[in-house]
Amino acid sequence: MNRFIERHRRQSRWVDGNRLELLENGEAYFPAVFEAIENARREVLIETFIIFEDKVGLALRDVLMRAAARGVSVDLLVDGFGTADLSRSYTDALAAAGVRLRIFNPGRRILGMRFNVLRRMHRKLVVVDGRLAFIGGINFSADHLGDFGPEAKQDYAASVSGPIVAQLRSFALQEIEARDRLQHPPEVAAAPPPAGDAQAIFVTRDNRTHHNAIERHYRAALRTARERVVIANAYFFPGWLLLREMRRAARRGVDVRLILQGKPDMTIVKSAALLYEHLQSAGVRIFEYCKRPLHGKVAVVDDRWSTIGSSNLDPLSLTLNLEANLVVRDTAFNAELAARLETLMADSCREVEAPAPRPMGWLAQLRNTLVFHVLRAFPVWAGWLPRHEPVLELAAPPAEPADPIEAPAGLSR
């Protein structure tokens, strides 16, 4: 009970004195993360949904091996569905260097198919020496780089320094300690010193104590919005409570805009179009990003509130997956993120025109009624889907540190 109370307080209390830097796409994110790991002296903690064994995944492996060879404690947690195809040579190399690679709910293929799709570890967190953290939606894969081609993803992350980093570190360690009962390295400073003027709340979603924490922060921000709301989200199909707050904000004169995928990377993304007319009828403006797949999960409200993290606004993220967002009150970070989104809308999006008012046929009425009730009931019946106590599987026992090796050129700063 005490742990539950403390975690609840953590997700509802603003922490002062932080600094955030917005990192757009892999071109900004990967060099910043790799440089931080290169400079690590005590500890590196990483949680990610996906690592692909491409030039980014290989560069990550190599920089982690070099850190471990210097005596840095390195813990890497990946999801068993998102990261299912790493080769034995990749995982053995990490283990030989002393990196502890854990797999969240590993699943065995049956007839070549994976069935461990529900309740995934979808977070993207990096914490280095308890002093610097990274949070956002970017996985360790080359499809977050522009040279990947037309399928390269548009996405956002942030580097974070200041007292809030202590909470991110504590959270990442709790997951490891709860499963492995391993003693973590000697405690770094309990809380880093102030680094800026931003207030922040670290918010997570899980299937035990924080079922809807991220969604509640979105709804609270929408309720208090007075001038502007811009939400950019890759997979958009929220529940009716969030839709209701969007409509209410637009109806009281708030400029509410959604940036959604215009070039979906998955067919199911097109289901968001079922909600367009419902939102547009209240005054919500919808923009589709058409340059390449959108993978971002960010939002700004008025001139101070913003959020960045791993959570989409769809049933998987809002009711099943394990997610992590940072909610921020800071005019500078808000202004930078808002400017990037304005540029995105102006240069790479098309606005979806609201249909002219017309009588609604019985098929459309039936469709809207079904969609409404599915959205309203989903958080309830999602709880009936298969659940079990998650397991962390150590990919291979750590061995003696290996000699440092060189990372591929072009990915370190």
Cα 258 → chain centroid: 18
CA distance 115 to 107: 7
Q: Is 375 helix (H, G, I), strand (E, B) or coil?
A: helix
Q: Which tokens belong to 359?
A: 């009588």
Residue 266, exposed/middle/buried by CB under 10 A (0-12, 13-18, 19+)? exposed
- Select which of 79, 129, 143, 155 is catalytic: 129
Alpha helices in 225-360 (DSSP H): 240-251, 276-280, 315-319, 331-348
CA distance 217 to 204: 11
Equal CATH topology for 2-204+387-394 and 213-384: yes
pTM metric for this prediction: 0.88
- Select which of 54, 92, 255, 302 is catalytic: 302
Q: What are the boundaries of each domain within the chain?
A: 2-204+387-394, 213-384
202 closest CA partner among 391, 401, 1, 15: 15
Q: Which tokens belong to 122?
A: 């979808």
43-48 and 73-79: which strand pairing? parallel
- Select which of 62, 79, 122, 206 is catalytic: 122
Q: Which CATH number fits domain 213-384: 3.30.870.10, 3.40.50.1980, 3.40.50.920, 3.30.360.10?
A: 3.30.870.10
Residue 129 falls in the annotated catalytic set: yes
Write out the chain's pLDDT in tens, 413 residues.
455 455 555 667 999 999 999 999 999 999 999 999 999 999 999 999 999 999 999 999 999 999 999 999 999 999 999 998 899 999 999 999 999 999 998 866 666 666 556 779 999 999 999 999 999 999 999 999 999 999 999 999 999 999 999 999 999 998 777 655 455 555 555 689 999 999 999 999 998 889 899 999 999 999 999 999 999 999 998 988 999 999 999 999 999 999 999 876 665 556 677 789 889 999 999 999 999 999 999 999 999 999 999 999 998 899 889 999 999 999 999 999 999 999 999 999 999 998 766 666 777 667 666 766 666 566 666 666 666 566 777 776 665 544 443 433 334 33
- Select which of 144, 210, 217, 297 is catalytic: 297
Q: Is 41 helix (H, G, I), strand (E, B) or coil?
A: coil
Say if residues 18 and 161 touch (Cβ distance below 8 Å).
yes
Q: Look up residue 252 and give its amino acid.
A: R
- Select which of 55, 124, 210, 217 is catalytic: 124
Q: What is the CATH superfamily name and number for domain 2-204+387-394? A: Endonuclease Chain A (3.30.870.10)
- Select which of 79, 295, 314, 330 is catalytic: 295
Residue 297 falls in the annotated catalytic set: yes
